[in-house]
Amino acid sequence: MARSSRWWIRADDRFYYPALLVSCTRDEPSADYTETPVLIAEVLSASTERQDRAENLCHYRKLDSLQEYMLVAQDLMRVEVYRRTSGWDLELYGEGDRFRLDAVDLELAVEDIYEGIEWGAQEG
């Protein structure tokens, strides 16, 4: 189910607002949130990385519907995928790699995610 507005995830009686989520359920308990995502993606930043890796993953993996959790670095080409089928073990992908998101039947090159990004010297 695609939505153009903000759509939250309810997990463990908490609400999260990920960068991307996919739900295949038509009948959600609310028009504002889902409890049945199959894929969740977060863009890592210095201020959210710790929460995305630890707290969010801990709560998200308790959702029976969730099949894959993807973390995307913003400072280099790095994608992390955690899958229910592998016991939530980390799969790490970098420049030149391809990977599959089974929950949405999609194969991607890491470069596809970063298309349009100009990598230059970072200002400090």
Is residue 24 a part of any domain in this protein? yes
Which residues, in sequence order, are bridge partners of residue 100?
A: 107
**pLDDT category of residue 26 using cuts at 50, 70 and 90:** low
Residue 36 has pLDDT above 50, yes or no: yes
pTM above 0.95? no
Is residue 105 a part of any domain in this protein? yes
Q: What's the pLDDT at 6?
A: 52
Number of domains observed in the structure of the chain: 1
Which residues, in sequence order, are bridge partners of residue 82?
A: 69, 90
Section 107-117 average pLDDT: 95
Is residue 123 a part of any domain in this protein? no
Contact 18, 45 (CB under 8 A): no
Residue 2 has pLDDT above 80, yes or no: no
Is residue 119 a part of any domain in this protein? no
| CATH number (domain holding residue 49) | 3.90.1570.10
Is residue 46 a part of any domain in this protein? yes
Is residue 13 a part of any domain in this protein? yes
Exposure string for 79-115, b = 16+ CB within 10 A, e = fewer: bbbbbbeeeeeeeebeeeeebebebeeeeeebeebbe
Which of 30-34, 58-62, 108-112 is the most confident on average?
A: 108-112
52-102 residue pLDDT tens: 888 888 888 888 999 999 999 999 999 999 999 999 999 999 999 999 999
Is residue 3 a part of any domain in this protein? no
Q: Which two tokens stand for residue 114?
A: 């970063």
Is residue 84 a part of any domain in this protein? yes
Residue type, 15: F
Range of the domain at 37: 8-113
Q: Which residue has the higher pLDDT, 45 or 34?
A: 45
